């Protein structure tokens, strides 16, 4: 590989520093192939900052190499920067080699790549009866397989993963060392002779005879529930067309009505269950392999108990060869849900399967590779021409979001529901996987572990610890008790605004339409129907929904009919009309109306609670067993928006979006026999009209024409697909979430951005 004999052109040597997602994605083998193709010598390796490389040869070839480092990077890589400098040449160097990784003691700015679904080449090997990886459940290469869930520390090399205990056999070692092989330096490479093994056991640990996949498939076909050890935790599976099996799963898991996800063998099988457009198919079959929510086909062979509240089904393709084999062997659509009791973290520890899942599962399909880090399945849907995440976990996390500049280390601990944590480090925001709702003690433990793990993995020392303003959030209490850094409380909807701007790469300022269930306001009330103007550095509350009492506090979330009474009381005063849909609660109505009197209940401006109220008035949902259930049902019944309800915005600072004319119109429609479908459609249109009207007023006042949409209400596909075109037609630039969810799963990113801006403003 050295320069040809007699070549008199001068030689040069260059050192490159490459940052981004460049470890665990085949980047060093990429550099090796590139150097050899250009007859360059040198070396490359991983360290705490990413990948470094030294190359030697003719200057023109060095220039071409440097250009191709990014241009021809591996598909899973993300190159953020390539910096180079000339260094002295090395005499006698004859080849290009890969150097051992060099862990250091400084802060780690390199990123851990997410886990990647099995690639077509590996799946072809698994299906090849003549191949040495036939039916091997842990087949992978540099283009696929586990990363985040097996890594122990950085730099990312086999000895720092849970694959360290599996010594490579001669054949796998040869693949690992061969620059021409797609398993060159694939850290999780293995085969049946040297890698992890599957076993099928009873919940008490008694082994089943025979092939574990075949025996597990037989149990599933019989209607049994099997706990399956996946990439980032255990899952629970049963056949989806068996009402009794699904009902048994719900009863044992204590999950009353929240929909289950479905595992299907192929895109074709998914298409038999749901309506898929090109965007949905691409998301479903991408390397992230998320659960994709899509409209259910009437002919779908799925028990009604799978998703009783919605016309949508969540489908996913197998993320691993093990899941591929299991789906093919059963020949069925399978319920595949998190291995836990409802609201608890997904189980990862083999030793806890018996105690945590023993009364749910009938058998356990496990393996002997340790899960180092928890990662649930990601969830998303296609809305208005793009794929939007609703839960960011396996396949996406801990992938970073690029920040607009370098800055101090900031740790943000998120909110209460859909918890995530975020570390702003260098020019990247490192986001944890979805951690669940912190209302459960076990979820709080997972949250605390995630914070400690993030700081340990990066060896970072935060300069600021950012949290929500809500005094009762467990994340806020954690921040108050943690001796990590000076603290900063950030208003919930300001964090939503900053999250959307950061996600969109927009420095602002912007008008923020922040619609959600609730967030603690600076005035001691619960906000949730907010029109803000600002950026990460600050905001003005330009307008909001008129405040209304939440009778019974959190009881009003679980019992939406209470919110209906509050909105009726606000619209009609003490002479509340008798609504047929609320008749079942007649004996409690007087007490609830007493709670609506001034000073008796906390006030809220929440659009989410207004959705609940409308759902209850229409008889669609009088109670909720999980967060957002009433609003989900109301979206599902919405028919065409053939009428418009009146929008009124009162002047003032801030302005007030009045809901009384809306409530009066809805009551009139209900009492004259109009169907819930018509009212639900008209209500969604009213929310869009109100947002556009308030945004117009904000633009007239400020001259700002960019609108950011964030908050859990924007999980509502119907609303988003009404509002975005309406805003575009009104001449606004629309900013939406693409990398993180619009719900509270994106709050930590916004908190980190506000923290950075606050430190910058302090100078």
Residue 206, Cβ neighbours under 10 Å: how many?
A: 9
Residues 10/169, Cβ–Cβ less than 8 Å: no
**pLDDT tens-digit readout, 8-49:** 558 999 999 999 999 888 899 999 999 999 999 999 999 888
Q: Give the total number of structural domains in the chain.
A: 3
Distance CA 192, CA 550 (A): 59
Residues 91 and 202 in one domain: no
The DSSP bridge pattern shows strands 363-367 and 410-412 to be: unpaired
**pLDDT tens-digit readout, 561-611:** 999 999 999 999 988 999 999 999 999 999 999 999 999 999 999 999 999
Distance CA 299, CA 537 (A): 52
Q: Which of 671, 694, 717 is the last residue of a domain?
A: 694
Closest CA to 541 of 497, 578, 582: 497
**pLDDT tens-digit readout, 518-531:** 999 999 999 999 99
Q: What is the DSSP string of 475-517?
A: HHHHHHH--SS-EEEE-HHHHHHHHHHHHHT----EEEEEEEE
Residue 597, domain CATH: 1.10.357.160
Residues 71 and 218 in one domain: no
Residue 277, domain CATH: 3.90.870.10
Residue 628 Ramachandran class (φ > 0 left, ψ -120 to 50 alpha, else beta): left
What's the pLDDT at 4? 47
**pLDDT tens-digit readout, 406-426:** 999 999 999 999 999 999 999
For residue 604, give Cα distances in angstroms to 518, 559, 627. 7, 16, 17
Q: Is residue 713 part of a domain?
A: no
Residues 86 and 207 in one domain: no
The DSSP bridge pattern shows strands 464-468 and 487-490 to be: parallel
Q: Is residue 260 part of a domain?
A: yes
Distance CA 632, CA 381 (A): 14
Q: Is residue 352 part of a domain?
A: yes
- Over residues 90-101, the mean pLDDT reads 90
Distance CA 209, CA 219 (A): 13
Beta strands across the sheet bearing 226-229? 198-201, 363-367, 226-229, 234-239, 334-338, 261-263, 312-316, 291-295, 379-383, 386-391
Residues whose CB falls within 8 Å of the CB of residue 512, separated by 6 or more in sequence, listed in order:
493, 496, 497, 500, 530, 531, 532, 533, 534, 539, 707, 708, 710
Residues whose CB falls within 8 Å of the CB of residue 671, separated by 6 or more in sequence, listed in order:
577, 579
Q: Is residue 676 part of a domain?
A: yes
Residues whose CB falls within 8 Å of the CB of residue 578, separated by 6 or more in sequence, listed in order:
none
Distance CA 746, CA 293 (A): 19
Q: Is residue 710 part of a domain?
A: no
Residue ranges in 254-400 assigned as alpha helix (H) = 267-273, 278-285, 321-330, 353-357
**Which of 6-15, 333-342, 526-535, 728-737 comes out lowest in average pLDDT?**
6-15
Assess whether pLDDT exceeds 70 at residue 6.
no
Residue 547, Cβ neighbours under 10 Å: how many?
A: 19
What's the pLDDT at 700? 98
The conformation of residue 730, written as its DSSP 8-state character, comes to T
**pLDDT tens-digit readout, 350-365:** 999 999 999 999 999 9
Residue 33, domain CATH: 3.30.70.100
Alpha-carbon torsion (457, 461, 467, 471), positive or negative? positive
What's the pLDDT at 311? 94
Distance CA 448, CA 516 (A): 26
Distance CA 329, CA 320 (A): 14
Q: Is residue 417 part of a domain?
A: no
Residues 25/186, Cβ–Cβ less than 8 Å: no
Distance CA 339, CA 355 (A): 12
Distance CA 752, CA 754 (A): 5
**pLDDT tens-digit readout, 679-700:** 999 999 999 999 999 999 999 9
Q: What angle do CA 118, 121, 125 make, to 5 degrees?
A: 95
The conformation of residue 84, written as its DSSP 8-state character, comes to E
Q: What share of the chain is helix, strand, coil (3-state, %, to 5)?
A: 35, 25, 40
Q: Which of 322, 348, 380 is the last residue of a domain?
A: 380
Per the structure, the complete domain to which residue 364 belongs is given by 198-380
What's the pLDDT at 9? 58
Instruction: Return the half-sphere exposure (C-beta side, CA atoms, 13 A cut-off) of residue 163.
Output: 22
SS3 386: strand
Confidence band of 5 (pLDDT split at 50, 70, 90): very low
Distance of CA 751 to the CA centre of its chain: 17
What's the pLDDT at 442? 83
Mean pLDDT of the chain: 95
Closest CA to 520 of 556, 470, 555, 466: 470
Say what the pTM is. Answer: 0.94
Q: Can you state the angle between helices 586-595 and 560-572, rounded to 10 degrees?
A: 60
Q: Is residue 314 part of a domain?
A: yes
Residues 69 and 216 in one domain: no
**pLDDT tens-digit readout, 61-70:** 999 999 999 9
Distance CA 259, CA 142 (A): 35
Q: Which of 71, 98, 125 is the last residue of a domain?
A: 98
For the chain, counts of helices (H) and of strands (E): 22, 30
Q: Is residue 330 part of a domain?
A: yes
Closest CA to 442 of 349, 505, 333, 350: 349
Report CA dihedral (366, 370, 372, 374) to the nearest 10 degrees: 10
What's the pLDDT at 101? 80
What's the pLDDT at 302? 97
SS3 570: helix
């Amino acid at each position: 590989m050295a320069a040809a004999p007699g070549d008199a052109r001068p030689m040069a040597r260059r050192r490159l520093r490459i940052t981004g997602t460049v470890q665990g994605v085949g980047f060093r083998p990429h550099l090796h192939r590139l150097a050899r193709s250009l007859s360059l010598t040198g070396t490359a390796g991983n360290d705490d900052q990413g990948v470094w490389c030294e190359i030697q040869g003719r200057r023109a070839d060095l220039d071409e190499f440097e250009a191709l480092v990014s241009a021809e990077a591996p598909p899973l890589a993300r190159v953020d920067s390539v910096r180079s400098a000339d260094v002295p040449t090395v005499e006698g160097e004859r080849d290009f080699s890969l150097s051992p990784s060099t862990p250091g003691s400084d802060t780690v700015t390199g990123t851990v790549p997410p886990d990647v679904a099995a690639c077509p080449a590996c799946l072809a090997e698994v299906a090849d009866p003549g191949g040495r990886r036939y039916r091997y459940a842990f087949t992978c290469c540099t283009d696929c397989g586990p990363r985040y869930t097996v890594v122990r520390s950085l730099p990312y090399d086999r000895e720092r993963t849970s694959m360290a205990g599996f010594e490579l056999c001669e054949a796998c070692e040869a693949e690992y060392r061969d620059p021409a092989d797609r398993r060159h330096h694939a850290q999780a490479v293995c085969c049946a002779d040297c890698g992890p093994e599957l076993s099928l056991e009873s919940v008490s640990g008694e082994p089943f005879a025979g092939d574990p996949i075949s025996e597990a498939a037989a149990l599933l076909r019989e209607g049994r529930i099997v706990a399956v050890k996946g990439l980032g935790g255990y899952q629970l599976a049963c056949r989806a067309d068996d009402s009794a099996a699904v009902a048994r799963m719900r009863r044992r898991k204590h999950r009353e009505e929240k929909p289950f996800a479905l595992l299907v063998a192929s895109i074709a099988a998914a298409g038999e269950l749901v309506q898929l457009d090109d965007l949905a198919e691409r998301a479903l079959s991408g390397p992230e392999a998320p659960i994709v929510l899509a409209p259910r086909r009437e002919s779908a062979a799925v028990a009604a108990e799978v998703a009783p509240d919605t016309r949508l089904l969540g489908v996913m393709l197998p993320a691993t060869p093990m899941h591929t084999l299991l789906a093919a062997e059963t020949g069925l659509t399978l319920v595949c849900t998190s291995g836990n009791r409802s609201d608890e973290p997904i189980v990862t520890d083999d030793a806890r399967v018996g105690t945590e899942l023993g009364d749910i599962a009938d058998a356990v399909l496990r393996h002997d590779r340790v899960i180092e880090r928890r990662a649930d399945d990601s969830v998303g849907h296609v809305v208005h021409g793009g794929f939007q995440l609703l839960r960011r976990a396996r396949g996406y996390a801990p992938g970073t979001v690029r920040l607009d500049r370098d800055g101090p280390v900031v740790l943000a601990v998120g909110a209460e529901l859909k918890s995530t944590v975020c570390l702003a480090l260098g020019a990247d925001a490192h986001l944890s996987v979805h951690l669940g709702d912190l209302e459960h003690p076990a979820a709080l433990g997972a949250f605390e572990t995630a914070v400690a793990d993030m700081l340990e993995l990066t060896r970072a020392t935060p300069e600021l610890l950012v949290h929500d303003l809500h005094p009762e959030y467990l994340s806020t209490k954690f921040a108050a008790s943690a001796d990590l850094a000076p603290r900063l409380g950030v208003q919930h909807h300001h964090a939503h605004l900053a999250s959307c701007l950061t996600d969109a790469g927009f420095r602002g300022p912007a008008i923020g339409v922040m619609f959600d269930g609730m967030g603690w306001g600076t005035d001691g009330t619960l906000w949730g129907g907010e029109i803000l103007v600002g950026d990460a550095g600050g905001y003005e509350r330009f307008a909001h929904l008129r405040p209304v009492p939440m009778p019974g506090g959190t009881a009003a979330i679980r019992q939406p009919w209470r919110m209906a009474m509050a909105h009726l009381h606000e619209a009609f005063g003490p002479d509340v009309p008798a609504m047929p849909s609320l008749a079942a609660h007649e004996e409690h109505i007087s007490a609830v109306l007493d709670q609506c009197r001034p000073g008796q209940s906390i006030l809220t401006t929440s659009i989410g609670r207004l959705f609940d109220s409308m759902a209850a008035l229409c008889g669609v949902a009088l109670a909720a067993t999980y967060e957002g259930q009433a609003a989900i049902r109301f979206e599902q019944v919405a028919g065409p928006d053939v009428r418009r309800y009146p929008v009124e915005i009162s002047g003032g600072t801030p302005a007030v979006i009045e809901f009384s004319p809306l409530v009066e119109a809805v009551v009139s429609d209900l009492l004259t026999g109009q169907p819930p479908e018509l009212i639900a459609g008209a209500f969604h249109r009213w929310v869009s009209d109100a947002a556009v009207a308030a945004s117009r007023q904000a633009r007239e006042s400020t001259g700002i024409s960019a609108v950011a949409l964030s908050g859990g209400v924007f999980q509502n596909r119907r609303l988003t697909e009404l509002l975005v075109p309406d805003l575009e037609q009104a001449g606004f630039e629309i900013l939406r979430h693409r990398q993180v969810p619009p719900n509270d799963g994106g709050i930590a990113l916004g908190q980190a951005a506000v923290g950075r801006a606050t430190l910058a403003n302090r100078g």
